[in-house]
Each structure stands twice: as C-alpha cells, then as structure tokens.
Amino acid sequence: MSMSDRETTIGNGAVEDELSLPKATVTKLITEMLPSDITCAKDTRDLLIDCCVEFIHLIASEANEICEKEAKKTIAAEHVITALQTLGFENYLSEVQEVFKEHKKLQKDRDKKSSRLENSGMTEEELLKQQEQLFAQSRLKYQAQQQS
C-alpha cells in the first residue's frame, strides 16, 4: 500500500492518516437497524463505512470553511449545524440540535459539580477523608441489610 493509499493531504498542506469508523460499532448499528431475518455482507458494511466517512469529511470541510469565514480557530457545534443547513441536510437539524442541547446540559452539570467541590472550602485531603467515611457508612448499611 503506497503512502497515498493510507494518507490524504488536508487543506493546510499537512498529511493526515485516512480516517475510518470502528467496524464493530458499525456492524452493531447495522444489526440493530435491520430486521432479524436480514443480514449485511462484509463488502456492504465496508461501503457503508466509506459513505459515513465521506459524509463526515463533507460536513467537517464545510464547517471548517464557515469557521474560517468567521476568523475562528476552533470549529464549534454551531458551525456544524450551519454546515448541515448549507449542504441541504435540514432533515438532520432537529436531532443534531437536540443532541447538542443534551451535551451542553451535561457539560453544565459537570461544571456545576466541579465548581461545587472547589467552592466547598475543603481541602482535597478533607474531601478524601469525607469520601472514605461515606464509603464506610455505605458498607456498614449494606452489611446490615445482608444480615437482616
């Protein structure tokens, strides 16, 4: 296999390994979507993987152009959403926007938990001691339930 078979040149002139999707994941997705009496041939699965990778490249390329037009250095979710609209994939927008909302909520919750620990006024050592006490209480409660 030559270098050109494994690698592609990206916009800034750098060479990037060709991307793919995990075959096991794609196989699982296909199996979940197909009726139980229908199977998918290996070459069909490989073709689906190639199509998905091409779709990802298309969206990423468009999102990158949008990002560059805005003079930004990082592609944001909003750039991907705009790319989907620009390329005519409006059918995906509601689902993508819903996933994005869920992601932002999870991130916000994670940040709250993180800042709550930081704002607790306790040192890391004190937090660890408290955690050990909670585990010990939990073990005692579990053991008591097992004996009843």
User: In order along the chain (148 residues), what is the average pLDDT of each group of 10 residues?
Assistant: 42 56 88 91 91 93 95 93 95 93 88 69 83 89 82
Give CA–CA dist 141/145, Å, rounded. Answer: 6
Q: How far apart are CA 39 and CA 74, in angstroms?
A: 41
pLDDT at residue number 127: 82
- Give the pLDDT score at 147: 82
Contact 45, 30 (CB under 8 A): yes
Give me the architecture of the 20-88 domain, per CATH: Orthogonal Bundle (1.10)
The SS3 call for residue 9 is: strand
- Residue 71 amino acid letter: A
Q: What is the pLDDT of residue 6?
A: 39
Q: What is the pLDDT of residue 141?
A: 86
Instruction: Work out the mean pLDDT of the chain and round it to a whole number.
Output: 83
